[in-house]
């Protein structure tokens, strides 16, 4: 890991395991060009899965910096990881998802885990490679439930975890057990609010589920698709089917935390830590339950929203959370802060995709290159 090394980037080879031609690669290459650095060597995820020697050859440069980036939502790559994961689990290959379909299953995560375990084994024999975020910690952040359990065990404040949910009937039993009427449900391996449900009920028996998942029924049965405009479900039959389908993808529940208000909406904060220190931060403002920016929500300046106590709580909690991942140089943290207290909603292994968001005059990609610059040999 880079251990918070700071200095001026010196042009050492930079190897990126990512999606060639994707947004993330383009932003990284633009940042390197702006800093006067050589173009990063890109090993495409799908090409590497088919030809493992590609990464071996790329990492042979001495010394070099290596970053593992998101495999993204490419359908072919998703299918490759599902195939490999299914084989490892001894299961039949599941039906490959349609474009936009919510299908981040245990088979996908098993395939992703196998891939990163291969990378980890390779890195063990390459001490000259400086790794921006280690495979082991990337995997832990990708497993949302395990990550929150990791935080809780280390005293990082998070929403109260209620555990895995096996379906609608089980959810109701969990709520009764804890005396709750509202809860957030999240898919264990999901990202970008995919499959997240805000569920509420009242004493009169009315209930509502709000989600980025669109329930579509067809001849082949019901399926769920990601949508940008949140859907509200009020009919019990729809809610039952929605939650039962998501439970098949290993959903878990956590207590509902109220977010601070801003006008007609409310917000949480995405903070990017670099070398364990809070850097870029942006308030994500929405009028509904999910504030992810891709759901047509708005950015706002954190400095203009937080008072002194809230600002201190945000920084302290971000540092403490990042410290529990000592081998990860770049982390995206989603945090709710109000009344001088902060809670971490989740850690994002690939949470630096925040175009045009500046910190000390640099975007997230230029700043991470600057902050991870190695010492001269």
Taking the C-alpha atoms of residue 324 and residue 95, their distance in angstroms, rounded to an integer, is 37
Place of tokens 């569920």: 199
Tell me what pLDDT residue 318 has: 98
The token duo for 297 is 């929500």
Tell me what pLDDT residue 363 has: 97
pLDDT digits (tens, 9 = 90+) for 39-77: 999 999 999 999 999 999 999 878 999 999 999 877 788
Taking the C-alpha atoms of residue 226 and residue 100, their distance in angstroms, rounded to an integer, is 6
Tell me what pLDDT residue 3 has: 40
Contact between 328 and 134 under an 8 Å Cβ cutoff? The reply is: yes
Going through the chain in order, the beta strands assigned E by DSSP cover 14-18, 41-44, 64-68, 129-131, 161-165, 182-187, 197-201, 207-218, 221-233, 251-255, 261-262, 265-274, 277-286, 298-300, 330-338, 341-348
Taking the C-alpha atoms of residue 126 and residue 257, their distance in angstroms, rounded to an integer, is 44
**Which residues of the chain register pLDDT less than 50?**
1, 3-7, 374-377
Kindly tell me the sign of the dihedral angle through the C-alpha atoms of 316, 322, 326, 329. negative
Tell me what pLDDT residue 165 has: 96
Tell me what pLDDT residue 375 has: 31
Place of tokens 């009315």: 206
22 CA to centre of own chain: 17
The token duo for 285 is 């403002």
Place of tokens 């950015």: 299
Taking the C-alpha atoms of residue 267 and residue 281, their distance in angstroms, rounded to an integer, is 13
Rg from Cα positions in the chain:
21
Neighbours of 253 (CB within 10 A): 26
Interstrand relation of 161-165 and 251-255 (parallel, antiparallel or unpaired): antiparallel
pTM of the predicted model over 0.85? yes
What are the CB-based long-range contacts (under 8 Å, 24+) for 171-174?
171/199, 171/243, 171/253, 174/253
Find the helix or strand (DSSP H, E) in which 199 lies: strand 197-201
277 pairs with which residues across the strands?
A: 274
Q: Look at residues 330, 196, 345, 185 and name the one whose alpha carbon lies nearest to residue 269.
A: 345
Going through 235-367 in order, the beta strands assigned E by DSSP cover 251-255, 261-262, 265-274, 277-286, 298-300, 330-338, 341-348
Q: In this structure, what DSSP letter does residue 40 have?
A: P
Q: In this structure, what DSSP letter does residue 146 have?
A: H
Taking the C-alpha atoms of residue 349 and residue 333, their distance in angstroms, rounded to an integer, is 9
SS3 368: helix
């Amino acid at each position: 890991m880079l251990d918070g090394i700071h200095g001026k980037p010196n042009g050492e080879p930079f190897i990126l395991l990512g999606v060639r031609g994707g947004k993330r690669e383009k932003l990284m290459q633009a940042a390197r060009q702006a800093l006067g650095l050589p173009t990063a060597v890109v090993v495409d995820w799908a090409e590497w899965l088919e030809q493992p020697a590609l990464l071996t050859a790329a990492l042979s440069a001495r010394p070099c910096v290596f970053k593992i980036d998101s495999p993204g939502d490419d359908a072919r790559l998703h299918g490759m990881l599902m195939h490999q994961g299914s084989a490892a689990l001894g299961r039949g290959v599941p039906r490959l998802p349609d474009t936009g379909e919510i299908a981040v299953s245990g088979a996908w995560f098993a395939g992703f885990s196998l891939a990163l375990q291969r990378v980890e084994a390779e890195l063990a024999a390459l001490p000259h490679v400086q790794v921006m975020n280690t495979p082991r910690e990337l995997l832990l952040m990708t497993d949302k439930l395990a990550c929150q359990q990791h935080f809780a065990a280390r005293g990082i404040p998070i929403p109260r975890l209620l555990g895995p949910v096996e379906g609608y009937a089980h959810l109701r039993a969990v709520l009764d057990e804890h005396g709750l009427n509202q809860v957030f449900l999240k898919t264990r391996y999901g990202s970008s609010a995919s499959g997240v449900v805000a569920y509420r009920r009242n004493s009169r028996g009315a209930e509502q589920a709000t989600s980025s998942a669109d329930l579509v029924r067809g001849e082949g049965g019901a399926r769920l698709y990601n949508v940008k405009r949140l859907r509200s479900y009020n009919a019990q039959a729809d809610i039952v089917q929605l939650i039962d389908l998501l439970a098949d993808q290993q959903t878990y529940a956590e207590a509902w935390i109220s977010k601070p208000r801003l006008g007609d909406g409310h917000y949480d904060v995405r903070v990017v830590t670099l070398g364990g220190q809070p850097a870029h931060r942006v308030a994500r403002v929405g009028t509904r339950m999910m504030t992810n920016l891709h759901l047509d929500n708005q950015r706002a300046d954190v400095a203009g929203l937080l008072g002194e106590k809230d600002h201190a709580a945000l920084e302290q909690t971000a540092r403490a959370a990042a410290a529990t991942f000592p081998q990860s140089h770049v982390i995206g943290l989603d945090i709710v802060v109000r009344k001088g207290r902060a809670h971490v909603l989740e850690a994002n292994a690939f949470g630096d995709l925040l175009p045009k968001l500046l910190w000390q005059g640099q975007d997230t990609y230029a700043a991470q290159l600057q902050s991870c610059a190695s010492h001269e040999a």
